[in-house]
Chains A and B, each alone.
Chain A
Amino acid sequence: MASNTAGRVSPVSAQTRRGRKATAVGWLIWPALLLFALFFLLPLGVLGVMAFLSGNPVNAPAVHFTLRHFQRFFADDLYPEALWATLRIGFLTTLAALLLGYPLAHLMARAHSRIAHALLLMAVIAPMLTGIVVRTFAWMTLLQDRGVINTTLVALGVTERPLKLMYNEFGTIVALTHIYVPFMVLTLAGVIGRVDERLEDAARSLGATRWQAFREVTLPLSLPGILAGSLLVFALSISAYVTPVLMGGTDVLTLPMLIYQQVSSSFNPNFAGALGLILLAVSLTLVIAYNKVLAGLAGEEVS
Chain B
Amino acid sequence: MRAKVDLGVIAYFGLNGAIVFFLLAPIAIVSVFAVNPTPYISFPPVGFTLAWFAKFFANPDFINALWLSLKVAAAVLVLSMLIGATAALALVRGNLPGARLATALFMSPLMLPAILTGLALFQIYLLAGIGRPIWGLVMGHTVVAVPYVIRTTLAVLHNFDRRLEEAAAALGADPARVFLEVTLPLIRPGVIAGGIFAFIVSFDQFPVSLFLVVPKGETLPVVLFNYMKFDLDGAIAAASMVSIALALTVVILLEWRIGLRAYLKL
Query: Are A and B bound to each other?
Result: yes
B116 lies within 8 A of chain A by Cβ: yes
Residues of A within 8 A of B162 (CB): 11
Partner of B143, one of A40, A130, A239: A40
Which of chain B's residues has its CB closest to A232's CB?
B111
CB distance from A90 to the nearest CB of B (A): 11
Q: Flag if B124 contacts A42 (CB, 8 Å).
A: yes
Q: Flag if A28 contacts B159 (CB, 8 Å).
A: no
Q: Flag if A137 contacts B30 (CB, 8 Å).
A: yes
Partner of B95, one of A23, A35, A56, A58: A23
Q: List 11 A-B contacts (CB under 8 A).
A: A1-B266, A25-B90, A25-B94, A42-B124, A100-B22, A131-B240, A141-B30, A148-B43, A246-B228, A276-B119, A286-B111
Which of chain B's residues has its CB closest to A131's CB?
B204
Q: Flag if B90 contacts A146 (CB, 8 Å).
A: no
Q: Flag if B140 contacts A39 (CB, 8 Å).
A: yes
Which of chain B's residues has its CB closest to A99's CB?
B19
The 10 closest A-B pairs by CB, nearest first: A239-B113, A26-B94, A32-B87, A43-B120, A131-B204, A29-B90, A138-B26, A28-B86, A28-B90, A129-B247
A198 lies within 8 A of chain B by Cβ: no
User: Chain A, 33-52, contact with B by CB distance < 8 Å: what is the 0/1 string?
Assistant: 10110111111101100100
Q: Flag if A283 contacts B86 (CB, 8 Å).
A: no
User: Chain B, 170-202, contact with A by CB distance < 8 Å: what is the 0/1 string?
Assistant: 000000000000000000000000000000100
CB distance from A246 to the nearest CB of B (A): 6
Residues of A within 8 A of B90 (CB): 25-29, 32
Interface size class of B (residues with CB under 8 A): 35 or more
Q: Flag if B95 contacts A1 (CB, 8 Å).
A: no
Given contacts A132-B206, A239-B207, contact A140 B15 (CB under 8 A): no
Enumerate chain A interface residues (CB-CB to B < 8 A). 1-5, 8, 10-12, 15, 18-23, 25-29, 31-33, 35-36, 38-44, 46-47, 50, 56-58, 100, 103-104, 107, 117-118, 120-127, 129-142, 144, 146-148, 151-152, 178, 181-182, 186, 190, 209-211, 232, 235-236, 238-239, 241-242, 245-246, 256, 259-260, 263, 269, 272-273, 276, 279-280, 283-284, 286-287, 290-291
Given contacts A130-B243, A241-B210, contact A256 B261 (CB under 8 A): no
CB distance from A193 to the nearest CB of B (A): 9
List which B204-227 residues lie within 8 A (CB) of chain A: 204, 206-207, 210-211, 221, 224-225
Given contacts A25-B94, A29-B87, A50-B123, contact A1 B158 (CB under 8 A): yes
Partner of A269, one of B33, B111, B126, B247: B126
CB distance from A260 to the nearest CB of B (A): 7
Chain B binding surface, main DSSP class:
helix
Chain A binding surface, main DSSP class:
helix
Residues of A within 8 A of B203 (CB): 131
Q: Flag if B251 contacts A125 (CB, 8 Å).
A: yes
CB distance from B40 to the nearest CB of A (A): 7
Given contacts A103-B12, A263-B119, A279-B116, contact A22 B96 (CB under 8 A): yes
